[in-house]
């Protein structure tokens, strides 16, 4: 007859396995989104819709910061492998974006617990685009019009952040 | 699945979200205006380089209505600027006057090879990287 | 609440400040020099000073090619050949000789460095470019002295080159593209990834620009009073663009302009077009193709280009703009 201890152990073991499996599923869904997004034309190299961040946000809220960061890192790596861009400048740019987005969203969630998904994901989108722009600047040392980039970043960040918020809300509601 | 202790989040949970978005919108408008201001205050300048020993360099703010006389490798040349923002090599002491025949230019470059003269418009973001001729 | 929101705002402020600070390092290095009787411009997109060194590397190649091949320089190897000397060609010269032969065969004789003898007859080698029109009998006699395959012989093995007595060579139709190609090679080998080389008639670019925008090359409309270009080429992949025309190297006789590209059958300057522009995968091909096509009559030109899927843009002597099927993908015109 299973004792309370055994049950607990059993629950912990399966939840560890389940956790990994769930993260794997989330990461692959995120990878798919990133890959689907990649051929879309961009008029600036660091400006990306970042739909995959919805899954990062989901993992963040549902599980933990670690899970969110994990999903972000894994999907960047796998997408990089599939697209053949591993360790290229493009990869570094998307890594910067994904990581910054995950961390920022986690920080916002902790700092401002009363904020809704919109604030969290728009912040994530802005942080991601900003980090990607920084990555481009570091690698290519360009001369840029700051105000222009800031304005564009916000205009793209708000709608993409809201879409990500919507996606995440749906996911949270259904699971 | 392990349940998180947090409740399911809503997209717009309160006033902060709206304020945040409005603030961003405001910042973006300000940023855009600042950018526009930046773009308009810089007038186009045209630079003239003469490849003599030593090299000569002139810069003309456009629009201007004047004639600049330079001493090229073979002799003097006249570069004319119009108030319409265009420029041309009006005369040059080169054998074939290909540069003179090129005519008025608004945004491109003018070259007199024998005399060693190059006239280029300096613009912040040029629309083409090169002209094939 | 207040403290946390303050921290949030502080982070945003820091981010904006960081953005402002990262700005001013110059994005492009560019320089221009008069070499090979034209203006050579090299642009590099790279970090700090590395770009400047790479640009000088590129110019050094042009200087070298000029020293070897210019028919205007007394000490060049071409000048030696033209004096009837037996030459021990340098590796660069040998390469040029081989490319000349390949181009001659490829274009069925429409590209021929031995047309120099015709150019001379028209006055291209006089200092003031005093033009004259040779009589038909003179041209017929001169044509007998052309034909690269017969008149130019060289041997890799014996390291020897010589041209037939009375013949002349001028590599002007290929030296530009050749120099661009060699310069690009030198810069690429030095680690330069994103650059453009422009010698006015031959352009080559490679690499992706930091802001992700494609390379844009305008094709000049040579007609006077035309401020727009004939077409614009936009490309993210590396390609070579070359234009041949009668409006930059010409002689004038009685107010009439005669170009420097000759028709191999009549020995007279080809007058079918005002300008021919091609796109190719390397600068030497681009230079050869544009020069050769310029000499061909319309039907032959379009047929020859179609066979090889060469994108071409032609402005005919009677002001028609022709873009062939392969060219439609490349040349964008504002008006049709």
Q: Is residue B92 part of a domain?
A: yes
Taken in order of first residue, the domains within chain C and their CATH numbers are 28-73+82-332 (3.10.520.10)
Asked if B64 and B35 sit in the same domain, the reply is no
Helix (H, G, I), strand (E, B) or coil at B110: strand
Q: Is residue B127 part of a domain?
A: no
Asked if B116 and B53 sit in the same domain, the reply is yes
Asked if B89 and B109 sit in the same domain, the reply is yes
Question: Using 50, 70 and 90 to split pLDDT, how confident is the model at B54?
Answer: confident
Q: What is the ipTM of this complex?
A: 0.77
- Residue A118 has its nearest CB partner, among B4, B11, B34, at B11
CB count within 10 Å of CB A143 equals 15
Q: Is residue B108 part of a domain?
A: yes
Q: Distance (Å) from the C-alpha of residue A6 to the closest C-alpha of chain B?
A: 18
Mean pLDDT, chain C, rounded, equals: 88
Asked if B53 and B28 sit in the same domain, the reply is no
Chosen for mutation from C39, C172, C212, C283 (greatest number of chain B CBs closer than 10 Å) is C39
pLDDT of res. B9:
72
Instruction: Give per-residue pLDDT as tens, C253-299.
Output: 888 889 899 999 899 999 999 999 999 999 999 999 999 999 999 99
Chain A interface includes C15 (CB < 8 A): yes
The residue range of the domain holding B32 is 9-41
The residue range of the domain holding A128 is 4-174
Asked if B62 and B29 sit in the same domain, the reply is no
Q: Is residue B132 part of a domain?
A: no
Question: Using 50, 70 and 90 to split pLDDT, how confident is the model at B131?
Answer: confident
Domain of B68, CATH number, reads 2.60.320.10
Q: What residues in chain A have their Cβ under 8 A from chain B's Cβ atoms?
A: 15, 18-19, 22, 61-63, 112, 114-120, 122, 126, 145, 147-148, 150-151, 154-155, 157-158, 162, 165-166, 168-169, 172-173, 175
- In terms of DSSP H, where are the helices of chain C? 2-21, 50-69, 77-82, 91-106, 116-122, 136-143, 148-151, 172-189, 283-295, 298-307, 325-328
Asked if B35 and B53 sit in the same domain, the reply is no
Asked if B86 and B25 sit in the same domain, the reply is no
Asked if B17 and B36 sit in the same domain, the reply is yes
Split into its structural domains, chain A has a count of 1
Q: Do B11 and A166 touch (CB under 8 A)?
A: yes
Domain of A58, CATH number, reads 1.10.1760.20
Asked if B58 and B73 sit in the same domain, the reply is yes
Q: Do C211 and A143 touch (CB under 8 A)?
A: no
Q: Do B111 and C205 touch (CB under 8 A)?
A: no
Q: Do A141 and C48 touch (CB under 8 A)?
A: yes
Chain A interface includes C6 (CB < 8 A): no
Asked if B69 and B91 sit in the same domain, the reply is yes
- Residue corresponding to tokens 């470019």: C129
Q: Distance (Å) from the C-alpha of residue B29 to the closest C-alpha of chain A?
A: 7
Asked if B82 and B34 sit in the same domain, the reply is no
What is the 8-class DSSP label of residue C295?
A: H
Q: Is residue B85 part of a domain?
A: yes
Residues 6+ positions from A51 with CB-CB distance below 8 Å: A33, A34, A36, A37, A160, A163, A164, A167
A133 interaction partners in chain C (CB closer than 8 Å): 19
Instruction: Give per-residue pLDDT as tens, C119-145.
Output: 999 999 887 778 899 999 999 999 999
Split into its structural domains, chain B has a count of 2
Radius of gyration of chain A (CA): 18
C313 interaction partners in chain B (CB closer than 8 Å): none
Asked if B49 and B104 sit in the same domain, the reply is yes
pLDDT of res. C26:
46
């Amino acid at each position: 007859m299973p004792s309370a201890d055994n049950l607990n152990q059993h629950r912990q073991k399966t939840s560890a396995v389940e956790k990994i499996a769930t993260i794997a599923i989330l990461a692959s869904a995120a990878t798919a989104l990133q890959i689907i997004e990649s051929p879309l034309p961009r008029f600036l190299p660091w400006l990306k819709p970042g739909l995959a961040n919805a899954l990062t946000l989901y993992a963040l809220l549902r599980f933990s910061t670690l899970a969110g960061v994990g999903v972000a890192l894994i999907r960047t790596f796998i997408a990089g492998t599939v697209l053949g861009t591993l360790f290229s400048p493009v990869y570094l740019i998307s890594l910067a974006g994904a990581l910054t987005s995950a961390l920022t969203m986690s920080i916002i969630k902790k700092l401002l617990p009363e904020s809704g998904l919109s604030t969290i994901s728009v912040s994530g989108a802005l942080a991601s685009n900003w980090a990607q722009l920084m990555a481009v600047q570091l690698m290519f040392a360009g001369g840029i019009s700051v105000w222009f980039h800031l304005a564009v970043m916000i205009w793209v960040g708000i709608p993409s952040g809201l879409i990500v918020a919507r996606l995440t809300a749906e996911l949270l509601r259904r699971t | 699945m392990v349940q998180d202790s947090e409740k399911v989040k809503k997209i717009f949970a309160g006033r902060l979200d709206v304020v945040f978005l409005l603030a961003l919108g405001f910042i973006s408008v300000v940023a855009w205006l600042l950018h526009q201001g930046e773009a308009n205050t810089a007038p186009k300048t045209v630079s003239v380089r003469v490849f003599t020993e030593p090299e000569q360099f002139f810069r003309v703010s456009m629009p201007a209505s004047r004639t600049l006389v330079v001493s090229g490798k073979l002799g003097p040349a006249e570069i004319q600027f119009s108030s319409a923002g265009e420029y041309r090599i009006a005369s040059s002491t080169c054998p074939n006057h290909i540069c003179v025949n090129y005519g008025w230019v608004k945004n491109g470059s003018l070259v007199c090879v024998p005399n060693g003269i190059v006239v280029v418009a300096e613009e912040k973001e040029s629309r083409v990287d090169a002209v094939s001729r | 609440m207040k403290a946390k929101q303050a921290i949030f705002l502080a982070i945003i402020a820091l981010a904006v400040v960081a953005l402002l600070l990262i700005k001013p390092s110059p994005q492009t290095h560019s320089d221009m020099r008069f070499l090979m009787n034209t203006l050579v411009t090299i642009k590099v997109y790279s970090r700090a000073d590395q770009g400047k060194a790479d640009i000088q590397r590129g110019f050094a190649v042009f200087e070298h090619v000029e020293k070897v091949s210019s028919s205007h320089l007394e000490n060049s190897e071409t000048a030696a050949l033209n004096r009837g000397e037996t030459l021990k060609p340098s590796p660069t010269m040998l390469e040029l000789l081989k490319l000349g032969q390949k181009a001659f065969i490829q274009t069925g004789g429409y590209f021929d460095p031995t047309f120099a003898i015709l150019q001379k007859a028209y006055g291209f080698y006089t200092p003031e470019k005093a033009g004259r029109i040779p009589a038909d009998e003179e041209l017929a006699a001169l044509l007998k002295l052309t034909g690269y395959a017969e008149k130019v012989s060289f041997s890799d093995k014996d390291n020897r080159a010589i041209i037939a007595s009375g013949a002349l060579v001028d590599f002007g139709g290929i030296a530009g593209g050749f120099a661009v190609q060699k310069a690009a090679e030198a810069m690429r080998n030095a680690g330069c990834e994103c650059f453009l080389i422009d010698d006015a008639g031959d352009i080559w670019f490679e690499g992706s620009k930091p802001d992700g925008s494609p390379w844009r090359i305008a094709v000049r409309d040579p007609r006077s009073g035309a401020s727009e270009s004939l077409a614009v080429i936009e490309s993210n992949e590396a390609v070579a663009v070359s234009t041949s025309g009668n409006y930059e190297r010409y002689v004038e006789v009685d107010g009439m302009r005669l170009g420097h590209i000759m028709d191999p059958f009549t020995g007279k300057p080809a007058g079918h077009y005002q300008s021919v522009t091609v796109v190719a995968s390397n600068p030497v091909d681009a230079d050869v193709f544009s020069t050769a096509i310029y000499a061909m009559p319309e039907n032959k030109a379009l047929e020859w280009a179609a066979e090889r899927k060469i994108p071409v843009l032609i402005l005919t002597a009677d002001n028609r703009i022709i873009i062939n099927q392969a060219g439609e993908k490349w040349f964008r015109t504002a008006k049709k």
